[in-house]
Amino acid sequence: MSILSKEEIIARMDEGPLKDRLVITPLLNRSQIGGVSVDLRLGFSFILLNRGNILAIDPMESNAQSMLEKYQQRITLSRGGVFHLHPGEFVLGASLEYIALPLNLTAHVTSRSSWGRVGLVIATAISVAPGFRGVITLELANVGVAPLALRPGVRVAQIIFTWTKPTHSYAGRYTCPTAPEFGKIHLDPDLKFWSGPSGHAG
């Protein structure tokens, strides 16, 4: 199962039945397509947590989802706006691009090295399942020593595509997101077992 080259990426975007094509939109400039990856731009929306109001994020608590929704803060910037990510801070952003993967492609998202060298990292290597459609939530962390000015439209990440055996349908939790989404760890099927006989951890 090999990584798609630049030529294969372009071919999957331009050729074949529409349902089998790779969609990346808006692709503002084809220079975003590199040798084996496509640069992703930062979108306009962010999710922050008001961390001073949370004792702990515990997915085993029955009200975990409502607690997260209560304490998360959504911010939407305008074109030309700026979000300052300070050292040690973490925020959820999203790609400007809407991605649609055919059922025989998977992908993963990583930081761009140019941003990584000043301290901005994608906190985890984000895997994208075959058949996914939507913008990609970016888990952004500043591990550097200076605040970083993040602006919509800036290329902050890259996505790499890999051939895989075709699947019948998309089986992920995040369906057609159009903005960053907070995690759904409280939906993990084995949490109830591991919470213990009382239903609570500890």
Closest CA to 135 of 26, 4, 28: 26
Name the phi and psi angles at 31, rounded to 5.
-70, -10
Catalytic positions, written as ranges = 139
Alpha helices (H) along 26-81: 64-71
Structure tokens at 29: 């400039």
Strands (E), 20-89: 23-25, 38-41, 45-49, 72-76, 83-85
Distances (CA, A) of 75 to 48, 83, 94, 110: 8, 9, 12, 23
Contact 107, 172 (CB under 8 A): no
